[in-house]
Structure 1
Amino acid sequence: MYITVTNVRYRNDLEKINYRDYFISSGVYSLLNKDVLADIERLLNELSKDTAVVEIFKSDFIISLKQIYFAVISAINAFDSKTNIARNLGIEILLRLSSETQIDRAIQKIGVKRDLNEIGICIVARSINELVELSNKLLEQINGVELAEESLHSLDRVNKALEFYNIRQEEIESIQSRDLYEAALFLVLERIATVDIER
């Protein structure tokens, strides 16, 4: 599996990667104005295209952008191998990110609600130009402050991720790692990778 992390930066320094024929960007944003969440469906419909996927989700369980990228790559691979659960890539990404096999449960777990202080963003496009265009439009609409990767590693977030993915203490202890964060990230990525096995 080859992933290219592109160093080109644009509005709010959203990181992007290239995987196969897809360009992917993601980020976690603290919201300056929650009013944007009132009409989230309109915003997603406005930005979504036949050639691109735009997803916004609850993000307090995100401990690394690797989680989001891994969910996207797992979803793309599921479609390529015809093991996808959902009919469209956007929903498949949400299923994998939430580690759920049922759409309603995934939406219940990570769907956007009006009281959120932060949101996660994922954009998947077929061209870099389309990715940049959609990213800029979305970031302009949400007007949020991007959380740095390091700030996602906090103990509070790690504990939320462990609870979110139902990771037990015995599992953590079975992983040889430098610290709790590293063990948690490994187990979270494992949960995302094994969604189809749970079916």
Structure 2
Amino acid sequence: MKSIAIFCGSALGTDPIYLKMAQLVGQTLAQHQITLVYGGGRSGLMGMVADSALQAGGKVIGVIPKQLVDRELAHPDLTELHIVENMHERKTQMSELADGFIAIPGGAGTLEEIFEQWTWAQLGIHQKPCAFLNVDGFYDDLLKFIQTTVDKGFTHQRFSSSLIASDGIEEILQQFKAYVPPQPKWGMADQQNLVKRA
């Protein structure tokens, strides 16, 4: 795996453990010679992940909308900075640049980004792994809700099972190496299930 996209908050959060984990993620990717792909900002956990990777000698690629560059939010010291027209282009380009996706703590933007990539994986648009770095139980309730969508018949178990969750970045990297993508949605099993219901 040559590159990983990190989705995370543009704020630091209320617990110092989030900052420490963001720094560890950046350092770990650099140590494994994995390029960090991220949103290109210099604030919050986003900036900390990038700074830590750069300080550890890693390569960092940022992808940021022009509007945020105009607000002087772009990180000035990245290996590469791609400026795009809007958020849709940003997410598409990050998806193309990365071999896998990890969400560390963040808010609505973080969730939107990781869920879009997980959805694309379900549809077979890509076959790349998605993961939650569950720092200090940050994503516990969300992961329970995902299981609820399985229990209620809205998510197939194979897609829930393919979503990686761990409180350790090294564990996630190991699972990424062993990742086997699930059969895309609307494969034969799904079509047969529709026939049975009809």
TM over 0.5: no
Greater RCO (CA < 8 Å, at least 6 residues apart) = 1
TM-score normalised per structure 2: 0.29
TM-score normalised per structure 1: 0.29
